[in-house]
Amino acid sequence: MRARLMAFFAITVALLGAGVAARTVVANAAAAGCGVSYTVTNQWQGGFGADVTVTNLGDPVTSWTLGWTFAAGQSVTQAWNATVTQSGATVTAKNVSYNGSIATGATANFGFNGAFTSGNPVPGAFTLNGVACTGSPTASPCATPSKSPSAGPTPSATASTQPKITVWLAGDSTVANPSGGVCPVGWGSQFAQYFNANVTVKNNAVAGRSIQTWLYDPNVTSTKDGAGECVISPNTYSTRWQGMLDASTGMKAGDYLFIQFGINDGDTNCPRHVGSARYKQLIGVMTTAAKQRGVKVVLLTPVAAITCSGSTATGNRGFLSETNDAGSANGVPVIDLHKLSYSYYTSAGLCPNNGDYTQGAVGAFFCNDHTHFETAGAVQIARLVATAVRSQGLAPLTTYLK
């Protein structure tokens, strides 16, 4: 087993009982209170990733600013789902356009990458909109109340009123659930944590599959036809796809289907080989069947492996234009996970590396083959996908995100 010089760990501090303030709510006061969970999701030499969840324990807010102080000179280098600024040791995170409102008891979540030199202790205190996060509501002044209550706007769907849906995943080993051991861990196994309890993720990705072998196992032969495509005999779907098409146990109206192939499809030999036209045709087969059942389809370009040009990660996958073309032809959105992933590798400092993948951040992000992920890497790739769902406005799935 290779040496590991990168420490991966999770430290969570939940500031939910640090103090108790009396709940005194009068006519001209609004309740304020908050709890914060700050988790170091991964750490490497000189750098780290963190996830922050803010729970609003007071009255609903329409915008928020979270503040804290780093004790050991840490700095924020990149953030998502919040606008983060820093002055000295003082850090301020403000909501972005889509996550400013937090209902009572609801949460807002953001993450960031950071740098450190001597240590990386977890912050000991936080404030939300200027109020200390003690875990209990306190009274704070507000504008003079109206003389009589008025009806507010109709609330949007909350976790308690949303219909339950299933997000189905079809893909290869970079998506699949782990079969045991440290490697590989597909990002699909980590996807559910970014959604509320009304989403069930069913991961039907299978290691080693192209889109054709995933759809037609075990009926794809090792023989090519006159067009250079693998012969299918008999021409019947795999049990996994048949199960997803089943009216009682499979995909239902309102569900989502995420499709990521394009890594094994470039094999020159059957049964995995798939040509460009055939690849687009099979995406159309899956998309059409899903749409007929009222299922929303999202395509993803294949996640990148780690290859570096100096300190910059580079792209290395095929079937990129084919995936985008299929999205346009079928009228479904495409998440460019290929570009998102190699751009993240650069920003996270995974390049340069020494080539044997035993040192630095790469040692606990990727498996030895520099293609598959360990859990730390799978978590971050799943986050990239969830963030893209939000940034691309893939409603109504966006309303299920934490």
State residue 158's pLDDT score: 58
Under 8 Å between Cβ of 261 and 285: no
Say which residues have a Cβ less than 8 Å from residue 12's Cβ, sequence separation at least 6: 37, 38, 39
Cα gap 14→37, rounded to integer Å: 5
State residue 49's pLDDT score: 80
Walk along the chain (402 residues) in steps of 10 and give the mean pLDDT of each run: 37 36 33 85 79 90 95 88 92 89 88 88 94 69 39 48 95 94 91 96 98 97 96 96 96 98 97 97 97 97 93 94 97 97 89 61 75 91 95 94 92
State residue 152's pLDDT score: 38
Domain range 165-400, CATH class: alpha beta
State residue 163's pLDDT score: 94
Cα gap 85→65, rounded to integer Å: 11
| Third-level CATH fold of 12-21+31-141 | Immunoglobulin-like (2.60.40)
For the chain, how big is the Rg over CA atoms in Å? 24
Task: Read off the pTM.
Answer: 0.67
Q: Please indicate whether the domains covering 12-21+31-141 and 165-400 agree at the CATH topology level.
A: no
State residue 33's pLDDT score: 83
State residue 300's pLDDT score: 98
State residue 145's pLDDT score: 39
Cα gap 402→40, rounded to integer Å: 18
For the chain, domain boundaries:
12-21+31-141, 165-400
One-letter-per-residue 3-state SS of the chain: CCCCCCCCCCCEEECCCCCCCCCCCCCCEEEECEEEEEEEEEEECCEEEEEEEEEECCCCECCCEEEEECCCCCEEEEEECCEEEEECCEEEEECCCCCCCECCCCEEEEEEEEECCCCCCCCCCEEECCEECCCCCEEEECCCCCCCCCCCCCCCCCCCCCCCEEEEEEECCCCCCCCCCCCCCCHHHHHHHHECCCEEEEECCCCCCCHHHHHHCCCEEEEECCCCCEEECCCCCCHHHHHHHCCCCCCCCCCEEEEECCCHHHCCCCCCCCCHHHHHHHHHHHHHHHHHCCCEEEEECCCCCCCEECCEECCCCCCHHHHHHHHHHHCCCEECHHHHHHHHHHHCCCCCCCCCCCCCCHHHHECCCCCCECHHHHHHHHHHHHHHHHHCCCCCHHHHEC
